[in-house]
């Protein structure tokens, strides 16, 4: 299939482009590089041995989107582009709503008008808020979103549901990612956050490589086995393969489907730290701090629907994730600048 990948230079997008190309799809990437580096796509080309046609453009640039969609006649769009920092979304909500909502509205309009009505959307487990059911199934009601980032995903899901209802020719697949970590086996691409990382794994790897002094563990008084927060960490390559499985099932379909993409296993912050130390033989200095505002105690998925319907199941375990994250970081202490 001919596939438009928005945000394809980013962390999940770049790993997904590799898997899409390996599965024989023709990929075109649109990204404005606001949170990524063109080097990532150059490395993708080295890994896959195939060219990645790339347009540097903002999704809100309607003329650019019309040009690219008009000239390629895409069969499907995999839509990653958006801002994702929770903290920044609290301090700059307008920036988040404008980029994530306006960008997607322009994209949907242009796709629809150019006859591409297949969309795979990067949603998030954040839409469940504080989940009512653990493990979280897709039937779990969406919750009170704790920040504008999560709210933007909630609103975009709603927009897609309404659009699909109004025009049943659309086929929308909403993928609710749990916590992607890890990196490509080659160590050539991986997560490269700008500034001090907000998320656990890039913080750990930057402590390990000596860029940061110690990890702050946000709370050890949650109602969990060791008191630290529990999440469903998923290897980014497993996540990427999930998109390929969706594409395998998409042809000729109309409707809207929602899938959790997680492993179904919860690990605490201390589990992740210990696993990272063990498999990589490095020490991670840490201290226990206050709980982080907006955090929840436990969130992990029931990934059963993706297995039943798509035949997709995460293959990698926490040790692979820790090993691959470190393999990327230790070889590229400064990310794509190295
Ligand atoms: P990322 O920041 O690495 O990738 C996003 C890409 O989109 C970047 O390359 C950025 O330059 C591009 N982009 C942003 N706004 C754009 C715009 N207006 N026009 C064109 N390009 C634009 O993030 P990621 O971790 O790869 O996440 C991809 C998607 O998955 C995002 O939508 C994110 O919200 C979602 N998601 C991520 C996580 C996670 O923990 N990484 C979890 C759940 C959902
Ligand atoms: N966390 C932590 N220290 C950090 C970053 C995260 O203790 O520097 C904890 C956080 O409280 C949560 C887990 O690690 O329990 C995962 O946080 P992350 O920000 O990676 O993902 P989230 O689930 O919040 O989207």
For residues 183 and 236, the answer to whether their CB atoms sit within 8 Å is: yes
Distance 216 CA to ligand 2 centre (A): 10
Encode burial over 178-187: b for 16+ CB neighbours within 10 A, e otherwise: bbbbbbbeeb
Q: Is 4 helix (H, G, I), strand (E, B) or coil?
A: strand
Rounded CA gap, 231 and 301, in Å?
A: 9
What is the structure's pLDDT at 40? Answer: 98
The span from the first CA to the last CA of the chain, in angstroms, equals: 34
pLDDT in tens, 194-249: 999 999 999 999 999 999 999 999 999 999 999 999 999 999 999 999 999 999 99
Tell me which residue of 234, 243, 109, 103 sits closest to 167, measured CA to CA: 109
Cβ(240) to ligand 1 under 6 A? no
As a whole number, mean pLDDT of residues 166-174 equals: 97
Cβ partners under 8 Å of residue 308, min gap 6: none
For residues 285 and 213, the answer to whether their CB atoms sit within 8 Å is: yes
Helices (H), the chain: 11-22, 38-48, 62-72, 86-91, 93-96, 103-113, 148-166, 200-208, 236-250, 269-280, 304-305, 318-331
pLDDT in tens, 33-84: 999 999 999 999 999 999 999 999 999 999 999 999 999 999 999 999 999 9
Rounded CA gap, 243 and 308, in Å?
A: 15
Say what angle helices 200-208 and 269-280 make with each other, to 10 degrees.
Answer: 40
Cβ(16) to ligand 1 under 6 A? no
The conformation of residue 175, written as its DSSP 8-state character, comes to: E
Cβ(9) to ligand 1 under 6 A? yes
Rounded CA gap, 110 and 105, in Å?
A: 9
Looking at the CA of 39, which ligand is closest? 1
- Judged against a pLDDT cut of 90, whether residue 278 lies above it is answered with yes
Cβ(231) to ligand 2 under 6 A? yes
Cβ(190) to ligand 1 under 6 A? no
Tell me which residue of 125, 145, 146 sits closest to 134, measured CA to CA: 125
Closest-lying ligand 2 atom to the alpha carbon of residue 215: 8
Q: Is the dihedral of CA 332, 199, 12, 133 positive or negative?
A: positive
Residue nearest to atom 21 of ligand 2 (CA): 199
Distance 67 CA to ligand 1 centre (A): 22
As a whole number, mean pLDDT of residues 306-319 equals: 98
Tell me which residue of 199, 193, 187, 181 sits closest to 236, measured CA to CA: 181
Distance 272 CA to ligand 2 centre (A): 11
What is the structure's pLDDT at 69? Answer: 98
Looking at the CA of 105, which ligand is closest? 1
Percentage, residues of the chain above pLDDT 70:
100
Please indicate whether residue 97 is annotated as part of the active site: no
pTM for the structure as a whole:
0.98
Rounded CA gap, 47 and 239, in Å?
A: 18
Rounded CA gap, 145 and 39, in Å?
A: 34
What is the structure's pLDDT at 280? Answer: 98
Rounded CA gap, 79 and 186, in Å?
A: 25
- Judged against a pLDDT cut of 90, whether residue 338 lies above it is answered with no
Rounded CA gap, 198 and 303, in Å?
A: 25
Distance 196 CA to ligand 1 centre (A): 17
Cβ partners under 8 Å of residue 204, min gap 6: 215, 272, 273, 276, 284, 325
Q: Which long-range contacts (CB under 8 A, 24 or more apart) does 312-318 make?
A: 312/241, 312/242, 312/245, 312/261, 314/234, 314/235, 314/238, 314/261, 314/262, 314/263, 314/264, 315/235, 315/238, 316/182, 316/235, 316/237, 316/238, 317/263, 318/233, 318/265, 318/267, 318/271, 318/272, 318/275
Looking at the CA of 180, which ligand is closest? 1
Whole-angstrom Cα Rg for the chain: 19
What is the structure's pLDDT at 252? Answer: 83
- Judged against a pLDDT cut of 90, whether residue 31 lies above it is answered with yes
Q: How many CB atoms lie within 10 A of CB 313?
A: 15
């Amino acid at each position: 299939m001919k596939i438009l990948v928005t945000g394809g230079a980013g962390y999940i997008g770049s790993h997904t482009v590799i898997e899409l190309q390996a599965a024989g799809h023709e990929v075109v990437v649109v990204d404005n590089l606001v949170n990524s580096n063109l080097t990532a796509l150059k490395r993708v080309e080295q890994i896959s041995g195939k060219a990645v046609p790339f347009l540097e453009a903002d999704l809100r640039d309607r003329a650019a989107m019309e040009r690219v969609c008009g000239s390629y006649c895409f069969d499907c769009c995999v839509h990653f582009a958006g801002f994702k920092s929770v903290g920044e979304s609290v301090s700059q909500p307008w920036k988040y709503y404008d980029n994530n909502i306006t960008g997607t509205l322009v994209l949907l309009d242009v796709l629809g008008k150019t006859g591409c009505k297949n969309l795979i959307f990067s949603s998030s487990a954040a839409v469940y808020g504080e989940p009512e059911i653990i493990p979280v199934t897709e039937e779990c009601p969406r919750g009170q979103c704790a920040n504008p980032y999560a709210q933007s995903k909630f609103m975009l899901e709603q927009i897609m549901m309404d659009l699909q209802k109004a025009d049943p020719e659309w086929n929308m697949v909403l993928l609710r990612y749990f916590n992607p970590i890890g990196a490509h086996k080659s160590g050539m691409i991986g997560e490269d956050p700008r500034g001090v990382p907000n998320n656990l794994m890039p913080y750990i790897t930057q402590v390990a490589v000596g860029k940061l002094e110690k990890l702050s563990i946000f709370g050890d008084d949650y109602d969990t086995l060791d008191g630290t927060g529990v999440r469903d960490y998923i290897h980014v390559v497993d996540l990427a393969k999930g998109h390929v499985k969706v594409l395998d099932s998409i042809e000729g379909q109309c409707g809207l489907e929602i899938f959790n993409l997680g492993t179904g296993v919860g690990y605490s912050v201390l589990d992740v730290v210990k696993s990272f130390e063990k498999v990589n033989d490095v020490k991670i200095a840490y201290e226990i701090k206050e709980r982080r505002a907006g955090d929840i105690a436990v969130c992990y998925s029931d990934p059963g629907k993706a297995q039943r319907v798509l035949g997709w199941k995460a293959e990698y375990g926490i040790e692979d994730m820790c090993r691959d994250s470190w393999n990327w970081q230790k070889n590229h202490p400064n990310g794509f600048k190295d």
